[in-house]
A and B are shown apart, each in its own frame.
Chain A
Amino acid sequence: MNTLRGKITSINTEGHLSLISISVKDVTFKSIVIETPQSVDYLKTGNTINVLFKETEVVIGKGKIQQISMQNQVPCTIKNIEEGKLLSRIDLDFQNNEIVSIITTNAIRNLDLKVDDKVVAMIKTNEIMLSEL
């Protein structure tokens, strides 16, 4: 599980759903949750919380990303690649935070990913969980 610490900058609630913006370093993460500021205490603007997402949900983009619906786009540098037969693990550096992505080895080859490459890690809004500290 990838864990980043960030500060809630805005909360947009509709019924039982809330779209939360969290700033981590200079990137704004967005997460949609079935919670509201009424249902849990930790959803308050200005609160520091954990942003959680699975390694296997981290999409890697390289080069210029044209138009894509992924709201969470995090510029990273590849620190290490561990290639397996089918799956591979990429360790990424995001402003001194670590993010791990697990993608297929084929995808690594197709994108010709190498250590020190600048890439964009992308996570769908509905794949991001929040937890209190």
Chain B
Amino acid sequence: MIQFNVQKKLDAPGGEMLLDLQGEFPQGQLITIFGESGAGKTSLLRIFAGLLMPETGKIIVNQQTWFDNRKGINLSPQKRKIGFVFQDYALFPNMTVQKNIEFAAKNRQNKKEITDLFDLFNLGELLNKKPETLSGGQKQRVALARAIASKPEILMLDEPLSALDHVMRSKLQDYILTVHKKYNLTTFLVSHDVGEIFKMADKVIVLDNGKITNQGTPSEVFSNKHISGKFQFTGEIIRIEKEDVIYVVTVLIGNSMVKVVSEEKEIHQFSIGDKVLVASKAFNPIIQKIQSK
């Protein structure tokens, strides 16, 4: 169980902002943090990691107090069992992939556990390479393996996939889900991608101006009502065109563009950039094989 209730004043672009966050999450959940830039998402992760000290409040992780300003407790980042992956890889450039991971593992993992990690992340061929020779996706795979090597209880992912193309993104999402489950981690993922959130998250917390304004499961947060259609996606409107008496709305869902027909009476509520739920019944779509296993 992770419980936190922290306050800190931050200098934000629009002036001073009070970060005031409370929450409680059971061990093993994957929680995404969603919000505009400057809402306090990264600050929340940095507070957990011990890189940013709150002015008041408490952080308790599995009954261990990490921070309590009244009792004067503030565990150093090294003592908090956290693995961190940032958008910009942050691997040690002078070390090979293998050394990067072993360095993070220190004495916490035995040889077998480290070899298992190499296998889990398919790092075999990359082990002797230096980070600069790797692709973005490979670097993030290494960064993720390195974060896991330190045997964290909490994994903090600050938009780790936002610089990657969609194929790589999807693969890395699968890696994250695999390690999240395998090591029973509590994972915090900062993400702007609603599709990614639906794929990965147990819970979403929405931050706005330093406060949690909404939280729940992805469907509770991003769709207003439960709707019975089983062919459901969320996406963003990128185009609206009038064709004859109907409107064709182009919606970006993950990396695919789909078109949905709309009509006069409902079209006024839609604008480019709106997040929308697209739903149909499971009975409508056809399914065709494009490649055998």
Which residues of chain A have a CB within 8 Å of any CB of chain B?
1, 31-35, 40, 42, 50, 52, 54-56, 82-89, 100, 102, 126-127, 129-133
Contacts and interface: CB of A to CB of B under 8 A. Distances in A.
Given A89-B264, A127-B281, A84 B227 contact: no
A90 to B, nearest CB: 10
Given A86-B244, A87-B244, A100 B263 contact: yes
Given A86-B244, A129-B279, A129-B281, A42 B263 contact: no
Contact of B245 (A87, A126, A133): A87
Contact of A132 (B225, B264, B282): B225
A1 B266 contact: yes
Contacts of B230: 34
A89 to B, nearest CB: 5
A112 B174 CA distance: 56
Contacts of A86: 244
Given A56-B261, A126-B283, A129-B279, A102 B227 contact: no
Given A50-B225, A127-B284, 12 more contacts: A32-B283, A33-B228, A34-B230, A40-B228, A52-B227, A56-B246, A84-B245, A84-B246, A85-B244, A130-B227, A131-B225, A131-B226
Given A84-B244, A89-B245, A100 B226 contact: no
A129 B227 contact: yes
Interface string B228-264: 1110000000000000111000000000000001011
B265 A100 contact: yes
A34 B282 contact: yes
A53 to B, nearest CB: 10
22 contacts: A32-B283, A33-B228, A33-B281, A40-B226, A42-B226, A56-B261, A84-B245, A84-B246, A85-B244, A87-B244, A89-B245, A89-B246, A89-B263, A89-B264, A100-B263, A100-B265, A127-B281, A129-B227, A129-B228, A130-B228, A131-B228, A133-B225
Given A100-B265, A129-B279, A35 B228 contact: yes
Contacts of A131: 225-228
B228 to A, nearest CB: 4
Contacts of B279: 129
Contacts of A89: 245-246, 263-264
Contact of B246 (A35, A50, A102): A102
A33 to B, nearest CB: 4
